[in-house]
């Protein structure tokens, strides 16, 4: 299995290759994310350059990398003359000290056209005899990755990289890593990392309260901000909560700020048994799904949780920012915040609201108490979808 950022995949005489046009700069090939044990290796690249390019111009670079491309074991820049002298075959030798996952990459400078064979033969070198033995890499086909190549290609063009094996897909964006499990994740990735829906900047240290943590991506995004000192995240359902813990484990530095809680916030303390589905997590409210398996969930009264957090932030001279995406529970949460006078303790909010439970309630039901509490509200609800939307609220300066 191979991956490319630019160019077109072709098949010539039964061999797959990627061809990039003049002016296309970037990764012609990366992957295959091969697990190698300690030893000495050599990998061979088959690259065809552009005869019209000056012979001493650098047309591409090749490397052997691990840790999502952040650590290089070997690297070489190639000129058009290098490719001609080597008969379009260039080898890189490298040593592996500890078992890890490796990529063999080709990057075009864009100075001319470039074609590279997808198969990059790998050999292990016996350190004593010098004998070279072929290393046969398993074909790591991930059905979900293969079925959604266009979607993954879109995200790659927007700065994402993906490590796909037969068992899992791990994405990376701007230093944050996370698992991609299903088609719902594409929506979440777009909202958080491409559309920047939660990109708060206050200029002061802050405590973030994430109501509706789901798989933890918004918390991880917010945790990258040095001014975010703590994130208190709440998720009542076991499947997305477990996914969040796996994602946090991939980001130990930033995840240290996040305090996950396996319960939801609502208007009152309660327990309930609802139906849940493993293939649909981002749109499930505390009322559950129509089909699936039963699960007991726990809800805590929002004011009883948010009040102490807001007081902690006040004594530490920090702002309070709330991200709320809880599939209809926002109306009950607002009611209890209003009853306890807690809107005055909050500096900013982003609310994804959902008109699931009552035809008589909409975003104005939420906006009214915010205006009364001195917030400026930006309502981004679209006329084409009056049943759900996004609102930003920021406390006005006095």
Residue 1 has pLDDT above 60, yes or no: no
Identify the band that residue 282 occupies on the pLDDT scale cut at 50, 70 and 90.
low
Token pair in block for residue 240? 């997305």
User: Which pLDDT score is estimated for 2?
Assistant: 64
Q: Which helix (H) or strand (E) holds 312?
A: helix 302-315
Identify the band that residue 153 occupies on the pLDDT scale cut at 50, 70 and 90.
confident
Separation of alpha carbons 262 and 264, rounded Å: 7
Residue 166 exposure: Cα atoms within 13 Å on the Cβ side: 7
Q: What is the CATH number of domain 174-395?
A: 3.40.50.150
The reply to whether 8-139 and 174-395 are identical in fold is no
Which of 38-42, 103-107, 137-141, 300-304 is predicted with the least confidence, judged by mean pLDDT?
137-141
Which residue would you say has higher pLDDT here, 341 or 397?
A: 341
Contact call for residues 6 and 108 (beta carbons, < 8 A): yes
Q: Which helix (H) or strand (E) holds 364?
A: helix 363-372
Residue 116 exposure: Cα atoms within 13 Å on the Cβ side: 30
Average of pLDDT values for 5-28? 91
Q: Which helix (H) or strand (E) holds 231?
A: strand 228-234
Q: What is the CATH number of domain 8-139?
A: 2.60.120.260
Note the pLDDT tens digit of each residue in 321-339. 999 998 889 999 999 999 9
DSSP string spanning 264-311? EEESS-EEEEEEEBTTB-TT--TT--SSSEEEEEEEEEHHHHHHHHHH
Identify the band that residue 242 occupies on the pLDDT scale cut at 50, 70 and 90.
very high
Q: Which helix (H) or strand (E) holds 365?
A: helix 363-372
Average of pLDDT values for 308-319? 98
Contact call for residues 63 and 92 (beta carbons, < 8 A): yes
Residue 361 has pLDDT above 90, yes or no: no
For the chain, the domains span 8-139, 174-395
- Tell me how far apart the 2 most distant CA atoms of the chain are, in Å: 81
User: Which pLDDT score is estimated for 197?
Assistant: 94
Closest CA to 315 of 229, 201, 219: 229
Note the pLDDT tens digit of each residue in 18-49. 999 999 999 999 888 788 999 999 999 999 99
Beta strands in 80-224 (DSSP E): 89-96, 100-108, 114-117, 122-125, 132-134, 161-164, 169-173, 176-179, 206-211
User: Whole-model pTM?
Assistant: 0.73
Identify the band that residue 240 occupies on the pLDDT scale cut at 50, 70 and 90.
very high
């Amino acid at each position: 299995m191979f991956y490319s950022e630019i160019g077109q995949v072709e098949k010539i005489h039964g061999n797959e290759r990627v061809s990039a046009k003049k002016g296309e700069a970037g990764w012609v090939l990366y992957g295959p994310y091969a697990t190698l044990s300690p030893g000495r290796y050599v990998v061979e690249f088959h690259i065809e350059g552009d005869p019209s390019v000056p012979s001493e111009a650098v047309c591409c670079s090749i490397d052997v990398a691990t840790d999502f491309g952040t650590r290089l074991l070997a690297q070489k820049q190639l000129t058009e003359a290098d490719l001609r002298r080597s008969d379009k075959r260039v080898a890189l030798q490298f040593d592996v000290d500890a078992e890890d996952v490796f990529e063999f990459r080709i990057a075009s400078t864009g100075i001319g056209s470039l074609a590279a064979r997808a198969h990059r033969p790998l050999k292990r070198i016996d350190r004593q005899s010098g004998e070279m033995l072929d290393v046969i890499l398993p074909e790591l086909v991930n059905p979900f990755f293969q079925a959604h190549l266009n979607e993954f290609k879109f995200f790659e063009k927007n700065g994402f990289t993906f490590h796909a094996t037969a068992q899992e897909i791990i994405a990376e964006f701007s230093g944050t890593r996370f698992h991609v499990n299903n088609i719902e994740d594409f929506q979440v990735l777009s909202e958080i990392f491409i559309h920047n829906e939660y990109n708060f900047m206050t200029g002061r240290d802050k405590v973030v309260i994430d109501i509706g943590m789901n798989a933890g991506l918004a918390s991880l995004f917010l945790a990258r901000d040095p001014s975010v000192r703590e994130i208190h995240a709440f998720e009542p359902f076991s499947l997305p909560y477990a996914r969040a813990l796996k994602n946090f484990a991939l980001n130990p530095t930033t995840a240290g700020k996040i305090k996950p809680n396996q319960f939801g916030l609502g208007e009152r303390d309660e327990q309930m048994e609802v139906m849940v589905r493993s293939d649909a997590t981002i749109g499930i409210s505390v009322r559950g799904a129509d089909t699936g398996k039963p699960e007991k969930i726990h809800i805590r009264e929002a004011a009883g949780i948010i009040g102490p957090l807001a007081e902690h932030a006040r004594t530490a001279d920090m702002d309070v920012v709330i991200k709320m995406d809880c599939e209809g529970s926002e109306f009950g949460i607002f009611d209890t915040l209003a009853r306890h006078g807690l809107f005055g303790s909050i500096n900013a909010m982003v609310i994804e609201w959902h008109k699931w439970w009552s035809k008589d309630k909409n975003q104005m039901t939420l906006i009214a108490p915010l205006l009364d509490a001195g917030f400026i509200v930006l309502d981004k609800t679209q006329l084409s979808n009056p049943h759900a939307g996004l609102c930003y609220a920021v406390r006005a300066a006095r």
